[in-house]
Amino acid sequence: PLYLLTFKIAPALAAGNTVVAKPSEMTSVTAWLMCKVFQEAGLPAGVCNMVFGTGATTGQALTSHPDVPVISFTGGTATAEVIRRTIAPFNKKVSLELGGKNPSVVFADANLDDCIATHMRSCFANQGEICLCTSRVFVQDTIYDEFVEKFVAATRKLKVGSPKSADTKIGALISSEHRDKVKSYIEIGRQDGRVLCGEGVDAPVELPAGLQKGYYVQPTVIVDCADSSRCMQEEIFGPVACISKFHSQEEVVERANDVKYGLAACVWSRDISRVHSVAHDLQAGTVWTNCWMVRDLNMPFGGMKASGTGREGFKDSMDFFTESKTVCIKM
């Protein structure tokens, strides 16, 4: 949450604007602490203003106010639809970075050891509560069984527990409501396919004293779901990975694109020609090849389809937070 705020506030201030920022009501503490940093740094009062509240009240008041000309939002697709309807009469400039159902395409010639290790991050980092996390893993049929076996074994090694422990890989989810939502998708996966490890399969995690009421979900692997399953179509935003088998490049590109989202994707192959071909055909704003979350703030960042509107990054953000003007002078 803190990263997302700074990713928007910094270019807005650099472009000479004042800012009114509203963090999620679920992540207000880090934003409040950042206010103290601004004060200690000597930022003049009124340059960056932090307001707290829910989206339905504070967020609505901001987006509908006639004196707020530019909106940059990161969050859910449903909220973005409300923002679009709200700002339409005002013709405000808007940038929307929304959800994803990000695919990873693993071809038979991929480096499996590196691939599996990276997927443990791309699927389960921050408990899967990152919009860029991999949610659907498509594996070529000739290596499918080996991949699944290694993937499940690696997933079971991820430690669930206290954030104060250096070897913890999976912490608590943001709220009890979200935990219940994630678990409901796992039940859908159990009905539509098979749950190989995690919730309802492995023994419950023994949490340290004081954490038993935490909103924990074990990292879970689901297979054999049809592409039409809600587990394959809807954003889960938790530590859940769905693995599917594919045969040909043409098939997997079509299936990977068969969702309403288009935020990010990964391609795993040693064949550079194939990598370029697949990356070109995937409907995603960012495509990583043989890696994940390699970022440079100069790179344009944003999604296609229901994953957003516009791009952010150094040049794109500076363009967004400024207005171009043409002045013609006859001497």
DSSP-assigned states of every residue in 184-197:
HHHHHHHHHSEEEE
Question: Would you call 309 helix, strand, or coil by DSSP?
Answer: strand
Chain position carrying tokens 């909220």: 79
Structural element, H or E, at residue 242: strand 240-246
323 in active site:
no
- Which one is catalytic: 48, 97, 199, 235? 97
- Which one is catalytic: 48, 115, 123, 131? 131
The upper half-sphere exposure of residue 29, i.e. CA atoms within 13 Å in the direction of its Cβ, equals 2
Q: Judge whether 170 and 239 are in contact, CB under 8 Å.
A: yes
Query: Is the sign of the CA dihedral 281, 282, 283, 286 positive or negative?
Result: negative
146 in active site:
no
Which residue type is seen at 102?
N
Chain position carrying tokens 């949450």: 1
Q: The tokens of 245 are what?
A: 């088998």
Structural element, H or E, at residue 146: helix 144-156
Q: The tokens of 247 are what?
A: 């045969």
Catalytic center residues:
97, 131
